[in-house]
Amino acid sequence: MSTIPYASDPSSLEIDVQTFAHRLDTGLEGVQLIDVREPWELERAAIAGFANLPLSAFAEWETQIYQHFDVDTETIVMCHHGIRSAQMCQWLRQQGFTQVKNLVGGIDAYAIKVDASTPRY
């Protein structure tokens, strides 16, 4: 995956786990959720509502991204710690997605700061 420069305000490209949890509690109507972790990772810990697009299977789903996701709808991307999801966010922006946010710290930060019942690995 290639990279693109961040916008002048990186905070507009990120969402912290506490803000995400609040939005999750109040309803995420009209928000697309993408988890780029591997299927075995989802078996260990997951948050309902995320579509799984493992980065390792990029070649299998990259040409179909527009069939499943709208480029102008807010999209939150998650992984284990926030590194792979940041890569995915950059790629989505290159594809024309306009409202992409990386879940900072990923599911691990979510487990630590929001929901201790979420398994850590």
pLDDT digits (tens, 9 = 90+) for 8-20: 445 569 999 999 9
Sorted by where each begins, the domain ranges of the chain are 10-113
pTM (two decimals): 0.89
Query: Average pLDDT for consecutive 10-residue bins of the chain (121 residues)?
Result: 42 88 91 98 96 96 95 97 96 96 98 97 96
Give the C-alpha separation, 120 to 100, whole Å. Answer: 25
The residue from 15, 24, 47, 79 that is catalytic is 79
Tens digits of residue pLDDT in 30-42: 999 999 999 999 9
Architecture of domain 10-113: 3-Layer(aba) Sandwich (3.40)
C-alpha distance from residue 45 to each of 2, 11, 29, 69, 77 (Å): 28, 26, 23, 23, 15
Give me the pLDDT at residue 12, please. 65
Verify whether residue 79 is a known catalytic residue: yes
